[in-house]
């Protein structure tokens, strides 16, 4: 039998590896390869550092909210397990789309739009999977504390916001890749303060 | 003394790392390397994305079934530990065979058959190890709830199916590499619904 | 609800992956690539091994002290969660700055100073984040055992030492890269013996 | 305060990542790069597969024995923590020395002896660290069940065997690299059956 603890342990493992693999993209070519100084290399790589920081906190905040959400779930069924796998599919793809966005951020033109679109698409997939997990948990009454229909509606609306916002980011990708990264940073900052509805604890989470 | 919890924690770690390393294969060459646009590169890489998705869910479903199985096991002996290590040996090889299959999927000819055969071989090794763990647990009565001989036979037959099906996939490798990937996807989809026999809980797993 | 256990489990995962990724930098080019013998390659790579050992123990000691610290924390609030994420942001960057320092250690000149400065900067970020976690826990009274103002002041001063020392190391980077690595090794050795103030247990930690 | 559980969780994480990173060495160069068929590439890479299998089971068996050992330890002190870190330093280096041994296995001459020596050196470091952990636990009476002096002596001798055997393997490195790999396989097979002395449970470990 699968209990919540193991789903969380496995998800934590995937979050931890994905967040650490982000750093594989931080790399300089070493001395002797070409003639640029280390300072020039680091300076030219600012998109890599910006994208690393944004994606790091995106995964970090998702991890926090993942635990807030599962902290309210009493029962785990197969649909939940596989919705969670779908969420992890997108989490695991974040290092790839981060690296691609960083590589093409300053290119401009179609390539940068495609890179930004790919990034927004994975974020959208992540938001949709996360929302589906919540909706399923509410509908099948898997929560520790059953919500009233009004509460459930309000919570789903708040959750659905992410899926709509990232759709807008997807549109923005066709305008400007740096804007996509900036807006992704803002969304992550927003989710640092806004969180999964819980039993109205003011600040201390435990 | 080894308890079940640690075997599961270590296996979860390996599953989590292996499933995340799959994404290392998702990579584009960046601007300036050659003259192909990002869109062309992504388009040409569809086998990589298809293979990533299939292998991701294969590992994910195996993880789910691994926990279902060990959730029924009361005692862990040395044979079980090392059968589990054998299973993990194949799990850890999945990123490699996935990457190889993706690289040669469209090549056709002997190379694509060898790549598909390698993929099927690792899947077969995985299925055989998993079945051996179950058979050993039944024979040595390591289960929480002792099975009747009839139940045990039925369960082993259901388990054995995977080992036979992947043998057929191995044969298919000599015909068509894309067909191997497609059938592997179908098998994974099957295991999403079919699962380790448990104490007849309808849906909620916990 | 987030409890301490999950924060620790996720942090442990990140520490474990980061410490293991350090070893990706250990690599030789294999036979046939150029004409240097393996012994020559290994000998020329001594900075890689030195940097690997220093960074390995730096992460290891940080992990030990992380647990000492969180072993005294009773409640986890959002600020603590995100301070911990900031700490992990620097931990995850350690393999990158280690690899860069090793690559430029013997270059001399500006490049080696920049590489050493980058290394010191990440260590400083790590020390600052760690100190902020402790100060926040003391100020918001999240500790298991409330400290007297005098105890808190003394403990914060002891903690603050790391942040000052690494600032000095940052200055040293402009003088000598090998000196930075040597001093980093000494600081890590110091932290093996000096540790987070705890309830005066002499040696056995459990 | 550090308890045994966290030391084990962190070590499990490192073992899991290191064992999975071994597979990064399994890689073919893809179509179009040169003119060798996939089958030729796979055939030429047999040392990679042999070294992968040996190192995989070496880490796996070490993990099993690590848990057997810590299952008998009641208290964890700082010396034990740092001896364990030293052990992990060598575990993390295993993917590197495995890859190097595989690359030079068939080269013959000095290079293959150096590669094999490096492999044996890391195994020796691992065996010595493991033995030191055990000796320290016995001497400082950190075990759950206090051993009589005679028992302790006998157990230390049995443990010390590994450190002597790997020293002999180190000598063998100057004779033949393939012999080193073969003997390492035999030692691992030996440790599958021989194990940390425990409270005389015949087979079921839990």
* Residue pLDDT, tens place only, D19-39: 999 998 898 887 875 668 999
Using CA coordinates, name the residue in chain D closest to C5. D6
Could you tell me which of A77, A66, A135 has the C-alpha nearest to residue B206? A77
Neighbours of B39 (CB within 10 A): 15
List the beta bridge partners of residue C143.
C73
**pLDDT grade for B142, boundaries at 50, 70 and 90:** confident
Could you tell me which of C89, C87, C98, C92 has the C-alpha nearest to residue C120? C98
Could you tell me which of D126, D151, D13 has the C-alpha nearest to residue D72? D151
CB pairs under 8 A between B and D: 107
Chain C residues with CB-CB distance to A24 below 8 A: 21
Ramachandran area for residue C148 (φ above 0: left; ψ -120 to 50: alpha; else beta): beta
Contact call for residues B13 and B64 (beta carbons, < 8 A):
no
Contact call for residues B13 and A13 (beta carbons, < 8 A):
yes
Chain B residues with CB-CB distance to A111 below 8 A: 31, 37-39
Structural tokens at position A197? 């509805």
Nearest residue, CB atoms, C31 vs list D77, D81, D103: D103
**Main-chain dihedrals φ then ψ at residue B143, nearest 5 degrees:** -80, 155
CA D68 to chain centre: 15
pLDDT of residue D149: 85
The C-alpha atoms of residue C51 and residue C71 are separated, in whole angstroms, by: 30
Contact call for residues D11 and D129 (beta carbons, < 8 A):
no
The C-alpha atoms of residue D27 and residue D21 are separated, in whole angstroms, by: 12
List the beta bridge partners of residue B143.
B73
Nearest residue, CB atoms, C10 vs list A61, A63, A204: A63
Query: Residue A29 pLDDT more than 80?
Result: yes
Residues near C56 by beta carbon (within 8 Å), at least 6 away in sequence: C19, C22, D85, D89, D92
What does the pLDDT average to over A13-32?
Answer: 89
What does the pLDDT average to over C170-187?
Answer: 94
Cβ under 8 Å to D: C residues 36-55: 37-39, 42, 53
Chain D residues with CB-CB distance to B103 below 8 A: 28, 30-31
Grouping H, G, I as helix, E, B as strand and the rest as coil, residue D77 is strand
Q: Do C21 and A23 touch (CB under 8 A)?
A: yes
Q: How many helices (H) and strands (E) does chain D have?
A: 7, 0
pLDDT of residue A190: 84
Q: Do C38 and D75 touch (CB under 8 A)?
A: no
Q: List all chains that touch chain D, counting a touch as 3 or more CB pairs closer than 8 Å.
A: B, C
Chain C residues with CB-CB distance to D81 below 8 A: 64, 205
Note the pLDDT tens digit of each residue in D45-92.
Answer: 999 999 999 999 999 999 988 988 888 888 888 889 889 999 999 999
Q: Which residue has the higher pLDDT, C161 or B50?
A: B50
Instruction: Count how many residues are written for chain B.
Output: 206
What does the pLDDT average to over B189-204?
Answer: 57
Nearest residue, CB atoms, D38 vs list B78, B88, B111: B111
- What secondary structure letter does DSSP report for D203? S
Grouping H, G, I as helix, E, B as strand and the rest as coil, residue A73 is strand
Query: Residue C1 pLDDT more than 60?
Result: no
For testing contact with chain B, the best of D23, D72, D98, D145 (most B CBs within 10 A): D23
Measured at the CA of A122, the angle between CA B115 and CA D21, to 5 degrees, comes to 45
Q: Is A1 on the interface with B (CB under 8 A)?
A: yes
Q: Is B143 on the interface with A (CB under 8 A)?
A: no
Q: What is the mean pLDDT of chain B?
A: 86
pLDDT of residue C34: 66
Chain D residues with CB-CB distance to C195 below 8 A: 78
Note the pLDDT tens digit of each residue in B64-87.
Answer: 889 888 888 888 888 898 899 999
What does the pLDDT average to over B98-111?
Answer: 92
Which CA distances in Å does B147 have to B71, B102, D31? 15, 42, 51
Chain D residues with CB-CB distance to C64 below 8 A: 2, 78, 81-82, 85
pLDDT of residue B76: 87
Chain D residues with CB-CB distance to B2 below 8 A: 64, 67-68, 71, 205-206
Q: What is the mean pLDDT of chain D?
A: 86
Q: List all chains that touch chain B, counting a touch as 3 or more CB pairs closer than 8 Å.
A: A, D
């Amino acid at each position: 039998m699968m209990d919540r603890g193991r789903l969380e342990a496995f998800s934590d493992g995937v979050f931890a590896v994905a967040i650490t693999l982000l750093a594989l993209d931080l790399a300089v070519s070493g001395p002797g390869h070409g003639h640029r100084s280390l300072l020039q290399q680091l300076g030219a790589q600012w998109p890599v550092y910006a994208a690393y920081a944004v994606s790091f906190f995106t995964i970090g905040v998702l991890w926090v909210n993942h635990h807030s959400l599962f902290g309210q779930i009493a029962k785990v069924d197969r649909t939940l397990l596989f919705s969670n796998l779908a969420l992890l599919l997108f989490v695991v793809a974040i290092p790839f789309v981060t690296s691609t966005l960083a590589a093409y951020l300053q290119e401009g033109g179609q390539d940068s739009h495609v890179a930004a679109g790919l990034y927004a698409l994975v974020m959208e997939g992540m938001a949709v999977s996360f929302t589906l997990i919540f909706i399923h948990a509410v509908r099948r009454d898997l929560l520790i504390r059953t919500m009233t229909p009004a509460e459930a509606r309000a919570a789903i609306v708040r959750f659905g916001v992410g899926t709509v916002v990232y759709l807008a980011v997807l549109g923005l990708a066709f305008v400007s890749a740096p804007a996509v990264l900036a807006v992704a940073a803002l969304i992550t900052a927003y989710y640092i303060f806004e969180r999964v509805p819980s039993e109205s604890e003011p600040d201390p989470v435990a």
